[in-house]
Amino acid sequence: MGRHSEHEVLAAVLQIRGGALQVLAWHRAMPPDAGRWALPGGRLRDDEDVEASVRRQLAEKVDVREVAHVEQIAVFSAPDRVPGTRTIATAFLGLVPSDADPAVPDDTAWHPLRRLPDTAFDHATIVDAAQERLRAKLSYTNLGFALAPREFTISALRELYATALGHTISATNLQRVLTRRALLEPTGAVAPPGPSGGRPAALFRFTDRSLRVTDAFAVLRPPGEHARGAVP
């Protein structure tokens, strides 16, 4: 007979908070890996599929209504990824808009990806995979809607994209590319002037707040790299 195995779902929930891309994690109080930080998730029940499971378990850790997008990343199945019974994990990416502040339990906190604490098992690898998926999807889909508030200035949207991508981008080029893809529309309103005054900035919104592929060839590349439809 084959070795018994279990199946769990895990979610790397990302949000841009305080100008940094952060991930939600909870502090393990019991072994194994007591004292380390783990991604929210848990065992897959017999009566649910993996997406229903991850949404159920996210609802137990964070107000799932604040999660604008959830998608499956990959299956992690190394035989020794956790001690004891072999456990296969289906991992998901979740995104929370930057203006949301969902309530979380006392044992749960946001952590900047650049300064991850000690993480449990292979969860740091899952976080890396989630970040790479986010960066890729920002290049050829409208996924920016899941990071941004419902209304924003182009300057604020550029900061969100730059934070998620990990490199600077041009606000002018970003606006041109997203407008060409028919992803942005003006709201007709303007943002309140800042402390230095100046011309009020127009407010925009995404035309569609569900995921769609917009340009299979476009890539938001770092400066110095070029591709058709790129936003340097």
Which residue segments constitute the domains of the chain, with CATH numbers given? Answer: 5-125 (3.90.79.10), 141-206 (1.10.10.10)
Q: Which residues pair with 86 in a beta bridge?
A: 5
225: confidence class by pLDDT, cuts 50, 70, 90: low
**What is the structure's pLDDT at 229?**
46
In the chain, the amino acid numbered 208 is D
153: confidence class by pLDDT, cuts 50, 70, 90: very high
> For residue 45, how far is the Cα from the chain centroid?
25
pLDDT tens digits, 23-35: 999 999 999 999 9
pTM exceeds cut of 0.75: yes
pLDDT tens digits, 138-152: 999 999 999 999 999
Six-digit token string for 187: 């709201």
217: confidence class by pLDDT, cuts 50, 70, 90: low
60: confidence class by pLDDT, cuts 50, 70, 90: confident
Question: What is the average pLDDT value for the chain, to the nearest integer?
Answer: 91
168: confidence class by pLDDT, cuts 50, 70, 90: very high
pLDDT tens digits, 110-128: 999 999 999 999 999 999 9
- Separate counts of helices (H) and strands (E) for the chain: 4, 9
Pick 212 or 162 by higher pLDDT: 162
pLDDT tens digits, 172-211: 999 998 999 999 999 999 998 777 767 889 999 999 999 9
Question: 144: buried, middle or exposed (CB in 10 Å: 19+, 13-18, 0-12)?
Answer: buried
Sign for the pseudo-dihedral over CA of 202, 204, 174, 154: positive
